Structure formats: structure tokens, C-alpha cells
């Protein structure tokens, strides 16, 4: 079975622009989470979605938004990009409904560079 | 608040040496899960192990072993007879419990430990 896939692999944007990152979960997984990983740090939680509803949100500004589609794929949108948004954006999927301790499986990430 | 501390920023060993990566966590929850992930240069986080707070048995998987000690809030990871392919960044993570009556699987990660294994 295919793992979590993300697109694009790399992206270069300029300040003030908007970006959309995409994620397809492992087949059968209904929950998708997004994380931001700045160079040299651990991933930081941004959102979790289950059945198209937001189930959790990290400490990120409203410029960050996401949605989940009926096929459980997801998009992360970031508006008004700042230099500090440069990071690796990781998507993770899990099989069960927002269960504590549900193992999350990560995709390869999208490397976003903001100039 | 949940917190995970990996005090070792970088570790360098020679192949076949044993190496232990430390992880200390903080949580007020009585029910929680701990994880270890490996991040090779490609960037993808690879799941290694999950452990719940009620299971303090140590676990061994091939050259990997994990020591969970609730009394010291530690969940350490040992690689026996390290190999060059073990070179990566290793993250310890804690799964958050209920928030406002709804549980969700937010992972709180440590800063990571960069492991370099030299031939």
C-alpha cells in the first residue's frame, strides 16, 4: 500500500504570497494532521482533521487554514507568507478516529522557502 | 502543558558502538502515549515505536530497545551495535490527551537528537 503522499515536494514563494499544500493519506485512514518543522527543531502541530471537521488546532495564526475532502485528502493553505513560514510541512495520517495514542504515519513533506 | 526534552543535541559514535538517546517528558495526564520517530536526510518521519503510560515493560526489536520509566518520566532509546544506516535525527514525542472533552492525536515533539554513526 502507498504511504502518505504530499505535493509539491519543494516550493519557493515570495513574501505576501499564498500557498496551498496537498496531502493524500494512507488508504483507509480518515484522520489527517499537519505539522510545521523549522530547520533544527522538532515538528510543531498545526491542525488535525477527521471526517472533514477540524478536531484540533495548534498555536498558529489565522493565516493558516486547512480543509479535508470527502476522499480524506487534505489541503493546507497559508496566506500572506512571511519569511518565518519557511519550513518543512509534514502531513500525517492515522487510521482511527482521533484516538489518543493513535499512531500517525508521516509523508515526505513539502519544503517551503519564502524569499 | 505537555513537554518533551531531548537534552542530547548531537551524538557521534563509531560503527558497532551502542548508543542511548535520552527522552524526558512532562504531562499532567495519567493516560498518554509516547513515540519515537526517525528522520533520515530525506525528511520523512519514520515511526519506530509507541508505548502507553500503563505499560512499563521494556521492549526490544532487533538492535533497538526502549526503556520506559514512569518514575523518572523517561523513555530512552538504545541502539545496539550501531550501523552507518542508523545516522538520522531521532525524535521522541508525546500524545496529548483530552482537550475540552475531546481527545485528539496532537503529538508534542522534542527537539530531536542528531545521531551520526561513523564507519
pLDDT per position as a tens digit, B67-83: 999 999 999 999 999 99
The set of residues, in sequence order, having a beta carbon less than 8 Å from that of B33 and lying 6+ positions away, is A100, A101, B50, B51, B52, B53, B94, B95
Phi-psi region of B11 (alpha: psi -120 to 50; beta: other; left: phi over 0): beta
Contacts of A40 in chain B (CB under 8 A): 111
Q: Which of A73-77, A96-100, B55-59 has the highest mean pLDDT?
A: A73-77
Contacts of A8 in chain B (CB under 8 A): none
Q: What is the mean pLDDT of chain A?
A: 93
For residues A96-106, one letter each, b for 16 or more C-beta atoms within 10 angstroms of the residue's C-beta and e for the rest, the string is: eebbbbbbbbb
Are the Cβ atoms of B104 and A41 closer than 8 angstroms?
A: no
For residues A11-44, one letter each, b for 16 or more C-beta atoms within 10 angstroms of the residue's C-beta and e for the rest, the string is: eebeeeeebebebbbbeebbbbbbbbbeeeebbb
Are the Cβ atoms of A99 and B111 closer than 8 angstroms?
A: no
**The pLDDT value given to residue B101:** 44
Q: Chain B contact for A109, CB < 8 A?
A: yes
pLDDT per position as a tens digit, A85-114: 999 999 999 986 656 678 899 999 999 999
Are the Cβ atoms of A99 and B91 closer than 8 angstroms?
A: no
- Average confidence (pLDDT) over A64-82: 96
Amino acid at each position: 500500500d502507498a504511504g502518505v503522499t504530499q505535493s509539491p515536494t519543494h516550493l519557493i514563494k515570495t513574501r505576501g504570497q499564498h500557498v496551498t499544500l496537498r496531502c493524500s493519506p494512507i488508504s483507509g485512514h480518515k484522520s489527517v494532521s499537519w505539522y510545521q518543522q523549522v530547520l533544527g527543531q522538532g515538528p510543531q502541530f498545526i491542525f488535525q482533521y477527521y471526517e472533514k471537521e477540524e478536531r484540533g488546532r495548534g498555536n498558529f495564526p489565522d493565516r493558516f487554514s486547512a480543509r479535508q475532502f470527502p476522499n480524506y485528502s487534505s489541503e493546507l493553505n497559508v496566506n500572506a507568507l512571511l519569511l518565518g513560514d519557511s519550513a518543512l510541512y509534514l502531513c500525517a495520517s492515522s487510521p482511527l478516529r482521533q484516538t489518543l495514542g493513535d499512531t500517525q504515519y508521516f509523508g515526505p513533506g513539502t519544503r517551503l522557502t519564502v524569499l | 502543558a505537555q513537554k518533551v526534552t531531548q537534552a542530547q543535541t548531537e551524538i557521534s559514535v563509531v560503527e558497532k558502538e551502542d548508543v542511548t538517546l535520552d527522552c524526558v517528558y512532562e504531562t499532567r495526564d495519567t493516560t498518554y502515549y509516547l513515540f519515537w520517530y526517525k528522520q533520515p536526510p530525506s525528511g520523512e518521519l519514520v515511526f519506530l515505536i509507541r508505548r502507553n503510560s500503563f505499560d512499563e515493560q521494556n521492549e526490544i526489536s532487533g538492535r533497538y530497545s526502549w526503556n520506559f520509566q514512569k518514575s523518572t518520566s523517561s523513555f530512552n532509546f538504545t541502539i545496539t551495535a550501531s550501523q552507518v544506516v542508523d545516522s538520522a535525527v531521532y525524535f521522541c514525542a508525546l500524545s496529548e490527551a483530552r482537550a475540552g472533552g475531546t481527545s485528539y492525536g496532537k503529538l508534542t515533539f522534542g527537539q530531536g537528537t542528531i545521531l551520526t554513526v561513523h564507519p
